[in-house]
Amino acid sequence: MNWRDRLNRFMYGRYGQDQFSKFLLAICLVLLVVSFFVRIPGLSLLVLLLLGYVYFRMLSRNVTARYAENQKFLELKARFLGLFGKNRSGAQRQGDHMIFRCPKCSQKIRIPCGKGMVEITCPKCRTKFRKRT
Ligand SMILES: [Zn+2]
C-alpha cells in the first residue's frame, strides 16, 4: 500500500478541505509573512492556533457542522464582496432568478430575471422598492 492509499484511507469519512479552510490557510500565510517583518507578540501563537483549527476542521468527522460553517463563511464572503460594489445593485443571480435584499429589513426576495424594472414589495415588512431584473 503506497502513501496515497494510506492517506485516502485516513481521510475516509473525514471532512477534508473547503473554501473556509483555504481562506484560513491564506490568512495564516499572510500572518506568517507579516511576522517576518514586524515583531508582534503572540502572532506566531495565533498562526499556530489557526493552523490547528484548519487541521481540526479537515480531519473532523462531523461533516454536517463543518459544511454549515463553510456555508456561513460563503455567505459572509458574498456580503463582504457586496460591500465593495461587486454587486452594486445588491442582486445575486441564481439560475433564472435574481435574489434581492429588502433595503429596510434585508429580507431575501427571489424575482424572475428579464422582467425589466419591477416594483418589489417586501413580503416581511411591506417596503416597496424598484429594481431592474
Ligand atoms: Zn423588508
Sign of the dihedral through C-alpha 30, 35, 40, 44: positive
How far, in Å, from the CA of 129 to the mean position of ligand 1?
A: 10
| pLDDT score for 114 | 85
How far, in Å, from the CA of 106 to the mean position of ligand 1?
A: 6
List, for residues 51-61, the tens digit of each pLDDT value.
Answer: 999 999 999 99
List, for residues 18-58, the tens digit of each pLDDT value.
Answer: 999 999 999 999 999 998 898 888 898 999 999 999 999 99
Cα distance between residue 128 and residue 120, in whole Å: 6
How far, in Å, from the CA of 128 to the mean position of ligand 1?
A: 8
Domain coordinates of the chain in residue numbers? 3-83, 92-132
How far, in Å, from the CA of 121 to the mean position of ligand 1?
A: 8
